[in-house]
């Protein structure tokens, strides 16, 4: 059996039904096998970066491992941004790359790149396959590594001669063969006991939940926990959806563009229970002034994340779901009426609001209308920038795995291909990418992919003619010296959509918003809607980079 066939059979053993990718010379033996493949569906992208983001969106929306494929050299290097995006956000993908023949490695052969060396800092692990007989065990190991512990990307580099090589018998291993890799899922009982004592003593506790809660499917346990100890709960960007938006204890997102009341709650608390979050700088602001009165319990499956940025009092290493189950068993029911009253007063006093002094649609209103019409089962992807933060603030998420966004790396161009990946994985769901007019152009060529496979992804472009978040920073911190952020009139998005074979709409008036959204949601093909929003709408509130969480800029829009 050829190495290429061995690879496909190994992927099928891991339950792979979808690959996103692009062909190339060294991959010809593999594509020759794909030609007759029935169980695995291959989606031809228009740029390899799109393939990586599609695999990522597939993974985030399902919890399964996403798979992407690219040829050697530039094909492999085009995956790097998508791999780094998945690594920063702990998303399980397996990236398959072609490589020149083993005899040519190191000789600067045509389309050769040391992709294992290039990606070493942005993967959990990577492999250079030397012989066809190694493929089954490497695939078994790769999927195990990607999906266990703190999830993340794994890369397998496949030389041309390995794919063309033969072995007599295909035997897929029953288990991974990995010395020294043993993720810890069960928490230490003594640490649980210490945490319970601290929780029961606290007067002003708050739960700070991150993407780890969603990765471990622990949303139900999280809600039961905050209700049992009566603690307000706030989430990171990647934790959005872990708690329903309308839960009385939910405070929305915290941090740089978090709600004012979430930040005030963190700063005034005497106990922070961090679950599956890593105290990112966008969350903490100035670490010297972060939560000055609080003890900290930090629950994370990755021991290297604990006390890495903020020194914690009680570390608990383990899977979020398992730890929460233990805490629910051990902690007694608690009530904090005075604390909850104070937090709810902040919530009432400092709601998220929006307005715009200039002409144009209010972007926050558009997002609220999308949320109202799309329903709680819709999957929402975003690009990066103002569109991303407005979505995090104003979209009403009720369930996990419905919000797909590049958090740690902040990758412009992520949202649209991620939405395509999610649509492939969830063919019966409404999938929407909320984009900016700058970021959508990073991977807009994937409209061709969506049209080719009749994937009815909807794209809502919040078009303000600027690289909006950079413009906001230049306005606030650089005296309105708008350096190379004006992209107004750069493209007619309606004509561009039509050129690709998609449907395009342009919306300039408020009374058109609902009508066009309803029509777009009913069209069974890719749709792009160009919303002309207020040019100088900003994201408020805002904690300046390195500032303190309790010192938030509000801006004239919140006056």
Hey, CA dihedral for 422, 385, 284, 234, is it positive or negative?
negative
pLDDT recorded at residue 556: 53
Query: What percent of the chain has pLDDT above 70?
Result: 99
For residues 479 and 403, membership in a common domain is answered with yes
Select which of 469, 503, 531, 557 is catalytic: 469
pLDDT recorded at residue 517: 98
pLDDT recorded at residue 238: 98
| Strand order across the beta sheet in which 18-21 lies | 41-44, 18-21, 66-70, 93-99, 154-159, 125-128
Task: Copy the structure tokens of residue 62.
Answer: 């399902």
The residue among 507 and 556 whose pLDDT is bigger is 507
pLDDT at residue 374 above 50?
A: yes
Flag whether 243 is in a domain: yes
Question: How many domains are contained in the chain?
Answer: 3
Strand duo 314-317 + 271-275: pairing: unpaired
For residues 388 and 483, membership in a common domain is answered with yes
For residues 21 and 154, membership in a common domain is answered with yes
pLDDT at residue 104 above 50?
A: yes
Strand duo 205-209 + 233-235: pairing: parallel
Q: Can 354 be counted among the known catalytic residues?
A: no
In angstroms, what is the C-alpha Rg of the chain? 24
Flag whether 157 is in a domain: yes
Question: Which CATH number do you get for residue 516?
Answer: 3.40.50.970
Other beta carbons within 10 angstroms of residue 507's beta carbon come to 23
Q: Can 143 be counted among the known catalytic residues?
A: no
Question: Could you give the 3-state DSSP secondary structure of residue 317?
Answer: strand
**Mean pLDDT throughout 64-84?**
98
For residues 213 and 267, membership in a common domain is answered with yes
Select which of 5, 160, 362, 503 is catalytic: 160
| Cβ contacts of 142 within 8 Å, gap of 6 or more | 94, 125, 127, 154, 156
For residues 343 and 432, membership in a common domain is answered with no
Q: Can 160 be counted among the known catalytic residues?
A: yes
Query: pLDDT tier at 358 (50, 70, 90 boundaries)?
Result: confident
DSSP H helical segments within 230-330, as ranges? 260-268, 281-284, 320-330
Flag whether 93 is in a domain: yes
The length of the chain is 559
Flag whether 465 is in a domain: yes
Flag whether 8 is in a domain: yes
pLDDT recorded at residue 327: 98
**Are 194 and 259 within 8 A, CB to CB?**
no
For residues 79 and 120, membership in a common domain is answered with yes
Number of C-alpha atoms within 13 angstroms, CB side, residue 226?
A: 27
Query: pLDDT tier at 87 (50, 70, 90 boundaries)?
Result: very high
Query: pLDDT tier at 356 (50, 70, 90 boundaries)?
Result: confident
Select which of 48, 326, 383, 446 is catalytic: 48
For residues 428 and 453, membership in a common domain is answered with yes
Provide the domain limits for residue 89. Answer: 3-164
Q: pLDDT for 296-349, tens place per residue?
A: 999 999 999 999 999 999 999 999 999 999 999 999 999 999 999 999 999 999
Flag whether 437 is in a domain: yes
Hey, CA dihedral for 447, 452, 453, 456, is it positive or negative?
positive
Q: Can 20 be counted among the known catalytic residues?
A: no
Select which of 9, 12, 37, 111 is catalytic: 111
**Mean pLDDT throughout 274-289?**
96
Question: Which CATH number do you get for residue 217?
Answer: 3.40.50.1220
For residues 423 and 324, membership in a common domain is answered with no
Q: Can 365 be counted among the known catalytic residues?
A: no
Flag whether 390 is in a domain: yes
pLDDT at residue 355 above 80?
A: no
**Mean pLDDT throughout 379-404?**
98
Select which of 110, 200, 220, 345 is catalytic: 110
Question: pTM of the predicted model, to two decimals?
Answer: 0.97
For residues 202 and 332, membership in a common domain is answered with yes
- Bond preceding residue 57 cis, omega within 30 of 0: no
Flag whether 174 is in a domain: no
pLDDT recorded at residue 559: 34
For residues 458 and 507, membership in a common domain is answered with yes
pLDDT at residue 558 above 50?
A: no
For residues 211 and 316, membership in a common domain is answered with yes
For residues 454 and 337, membership in a common domain is answered with no
Question: Could you give the 3-state DSSP secondary structure of residue 320?
Answer: helix
pLDDT recorded at residue 354: 85
């Amino acid at each position: 059996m050829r190495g290429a066939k061995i690879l496909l059979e190994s992927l099928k053993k891991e339950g792979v039904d979808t690959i996103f990718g692009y062909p190339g010379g060294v991959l010809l033996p593999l594509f020759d096998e794909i030609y007759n493949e029935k169980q695995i569906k291959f989606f031809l992208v228009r740029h390899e970066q799109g393939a990586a983001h599609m695999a990522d969106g597939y993974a985030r929306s399902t919890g399964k491992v996403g798979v992407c494929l690219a040829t050697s050299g530039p094909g492999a290097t085009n995956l790097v941004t998508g791999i780094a995006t998945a690594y920063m956000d702990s998303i399980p993908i397996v990236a398959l790359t072609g490589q020149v023949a083993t005899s040519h490695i190191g000789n600067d052969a045509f389309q050769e790149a040391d992709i294992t060396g290039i990606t070493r800092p942005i993967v959990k692990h990577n492999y250079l396959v030397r012989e066809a007989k190694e493929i089954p065990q490497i695939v078994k190991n790769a999927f195990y590594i990607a999906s266990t512990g703190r999830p993340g990307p794994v890369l397998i580099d496949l030389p041309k001669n390995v794919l063309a090589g033969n072995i007599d018998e295909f035997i897929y291993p029953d288990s991974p063969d990995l010395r020294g890799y043993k993720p810890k899922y069960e928490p230490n009982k003594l640490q649980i006991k210490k945490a319970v004592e601290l929780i029961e003593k606290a007067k002003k506790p708050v739960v700070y939940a991150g993407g780890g809660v969603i990765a471990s499917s622990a949303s139900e346990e999280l809600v039961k926990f905050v209700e049992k100890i009566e603690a307000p709960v706030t989430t990171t960007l990647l934790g959005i959806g872990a708690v329903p938006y309308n839960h009385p204890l939910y405070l929305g997102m915290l941090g740089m563009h978090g709600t004012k009341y979430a930040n005030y709650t963190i700063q005034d608390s005497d106990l922070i229970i961090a679950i599956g979050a890593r105290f990112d700088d966008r969350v903490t602001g100035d670490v010297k002034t972060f939560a000055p009165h609080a003890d900290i319990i930090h629950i994370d499956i990755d021991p290297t994340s604990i006390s890495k940025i903020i020194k914690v009092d009680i570390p608990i290493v383990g899977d979020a779901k398992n730890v929460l189950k233990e805490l629910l068993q051990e902690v007694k029911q608690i009530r904090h009426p005075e604390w909850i009253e104070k937090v709810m007063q902040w919530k009432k006093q400092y709601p998220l609001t929006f307005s715009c002094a200039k002409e144009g649609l209010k972007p926050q209103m558009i997002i609220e209308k999308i949320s109202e019409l799309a329903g709680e089962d819709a999957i929402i992807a975003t690009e990066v920038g103002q569109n991303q933060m407005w979505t995090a603030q104003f979209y009403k998420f009720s369930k996990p795995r419905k919000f797909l966004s590049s958090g740690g790396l902040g990758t412009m161009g992520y949202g649209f291909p991620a939405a395509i990946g999610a649509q492939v994985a969830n063919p019966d769901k409404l999938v929407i990418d909320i984009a900016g007019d700058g970021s959508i152009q990073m991977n807009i060529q994937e409209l061709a992919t969506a049209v080719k496979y009749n994937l009815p992804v909807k794209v809502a472009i919040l078009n303000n003619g600027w690289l909006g978040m950079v413009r906001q920073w230049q306005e606030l911190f650089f005296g309105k010296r708008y350096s190379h952020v004006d992209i107004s009139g750069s493209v007619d998005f309606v004509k561009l959509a039509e050129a690709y074979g998609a449907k395009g709409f342009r919306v300039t008036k408020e009374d058109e918003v609902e009508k066009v959204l309803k029509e777009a949601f009913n069209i069974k093909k890719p749709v792009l809607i160009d919303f002309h929003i207020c040019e100088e709408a900003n994201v408020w509130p805002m904690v300046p980079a390195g500032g303190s969480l309790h010192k938030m800029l509000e801006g004239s829009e919140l006056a």
